[in-house]
Structure 1
Amino acid sequence: MLQDYATGTVASADGTKIGFRYRGSGPAVVLVHGSMESGLNHVALADALADRYTVFLPDRRGRGLSGPHAADHSLATEVADIHAVVAQAGASRIFGVSAGGLVALATARRHGRLIDKVALYEPALVLADSFYDNAWLPRFDAQIAAGKVTAAMVTSMFALRLAPTGLKVIPRPLLAALTGMMLSGEDKAAGPGDVTMRRLAPTIRYEGVIIGEAKGTEAEYADVAAEVLLLSGGRGLAWLRPGRDALVRTLPHSRTVEYPELDHGGSSDVTKANPKGRPDLVARDLSKFYA
């Protein structure tokens, strides 16, 4: 229940306000959400951990309680933001999913003296030979600038290979129209403080920025001293698997857990957009790992 959470803010290195929610008792754990999410997408996971840990749910930039992105946004910006929350919380344990997993791992590398244990659910670290590049960003930016939010979301969906293969045969205008219907339905049901997909859409470009920036950097994580738990879904994003496997080879202290039935949203709350989430399963393994 959200009423069980207190809220706080901390200033990042550039002065931007980073907001967070927290509850529980015991050692601090910081949960870093992924793309098209805010801290509110991991409330069920936080609730499941709160009997043993004080759980912090930061909103990454451009979302909810936090300030806006800067024009020169980078992975270093994200690391500074999460480091500020980790320092404020006194946390030595951190979790991150997808692009948030990339941020969590980079934070552990940069601030290893603070962080002892890092858990990552399908971190968005891609290898140098990956298909992924940021060539889609100009089109996305133009669509957002023109107010074509649904078209921009379709652009990002294909760029990040989030769409089932069968959708490629559907004309993009039709996909944009269907996406618009989904957003409108969510907008009607949303409360004043809800972080809707329409509000989150502009943040996708910054996910692309940091994924592109970190492409091919897996060898740099060989000096991460923390214990790392690499989690993945058997039905997750296949194009992130090579990066995970590279981290298994690179990180000095790592182990893996795979959930055969889970997809990329396995750690997140169950919603209409994420009907197969199982944060209870992820919380079980996180609780053991952080103990």
Structure 2
Amino acid sequence: MDKKTTSRDGTALAYEVTGQGPVVILVSGAMSTGGTVAPLAARLADRCTAVVYDRRGRGASDDTPPYAVAREVEDLAALIDAVGGDAALFGVSSGGALVLRAAASGLPVRRVAVYEVPYADFLQGGAEQEAAYKRALTEALAAGRRGDAVELFLRLAGLGEEMIRGARNSPMWAGMEAVAPSLAYDDAVMGDGLLPRQELAAISVPVLSVAGGASPAWMREASLAVAGTVPQGSHRVLEGQTHMVEPEVLGPVLADYFTA
């Protein structure tokens, strides 16, 4: 990240800008940094000015306790000011939940797009699963058990025990433990894990909700519900795509939307 800006509470945020055209800020999800969405930014760069950043507590950005979702909304406001005061927002997974909450708060943005925000209303037992995860995550992080916190998230994301053991023994594990405290931030952004219908109904700008055709049915249903709840919602399904969407497939869809 080659640039820095400062949020309202003094937190330094690292970001970088690429391309030309309408400005779009890309917001990553849990266990990720701005580098995670950098390949998508590269796919947008010929038609949009794509901004990627490390959310607070990750990568090259700082952190200022105590955490509140409102601080992350202020982070987005600071980034919008830093890049000229006019921007659209895209968020993936729990980053999409942050983008929707920012838009509902009245943050001045032109358009919003999200990819598969994992609202658990549409997963059988989803509310109970989210509540159990929240309790266990809080306990693990309070005890300093970062590895256990990462495991909890990977299970929530659907990884099997063998894959989790493999991850623990991989070179990437240290980096995952480094950002583990930020799992509490994404958990806070997701709230109770259910679709925030009243909040979404307050969004006054167009919202594109995108899902992968090969993703679980409940995720596709959640994506469709987002589009049906916001006043100016639209919906797209990308055939063959999963929650780990390919930038070369998603990029053109977002570029068309943000330059319309």
Change (3 A) 1:143 1:28: same
Matching residue within 5, 11, 15 for 1:10: 5
Percent of aligned positions with the same letter in both sequences?
28
Secondary structure at the aligned position of 1:235 is classed as coil
Asked if residue 139 in structure 1 is aligned to residue 125 in structure 2, the reply is no
1:40 shift after superposition: 0.6
**Cross-structure match for 1:258:** 237
**Greater displacement, 85-94 / 222-231:** 85-94
Deviation at 1:237, TM superposition (A): 5.0
The amino acid across from 1:288 in the alignment is D
The question of whether the paired residues in 1 share the 8 Å contact of 2:130 and 2:193 is answered with no
Match of 2:228 in 1: 249
Which residue pairs with 2:257 in the alignment?
Answer: 289
Q: How many residues align?
A: 255
How do 1:102-251 and structure 2 match up within 5 A?
102-112=97-107, 114-127=108-121, 130-131=126-127, 132-144=129-141, 148-158=145-155, 160=156, 162-164=157-159, 167=160, 170=161, 177-182=165-170, 185-186=171-172, 196-213=175-192, 215-236=194-215, 238-251=217-230
User: What's the CA shift for 1:124?
Assistant: 3.6
Give the TM-score, by structure 1 length. 0.77
Equivalent residue for 2:54, pick from 53, 59, 79: 59
Extract unaligned runs of 5+ from structure 2: none
Kindly provide the CA deviation profile for residues 126-178 of structure 1, in whole angstroms up to 9, marking residues without a partner as x. 449842434334533444465543332222223x3x125xx3xx5xxx77643
Q: Which runs of 5+ in 1 are unaligned?
A: 1-5, 189-195, 267-277
Asked if residue 34 in structure 1 is aligned to residue 29 in structure 2, the reply is yes
1:81 aligns with one of 63, 75, 80: 75
Alignment partner of 1:57: what SS?
A: strand
| 1:221-278 superposed Cα distances (whole Å, 9 cap, x missing partner) | 1121211111111233544444323222211111111112111121xxxxxxxxxxx1
Hey, what does 1:274 align to over in structure 2?
none
Normalization by structure 2: what TM-score? Answer: 0.86
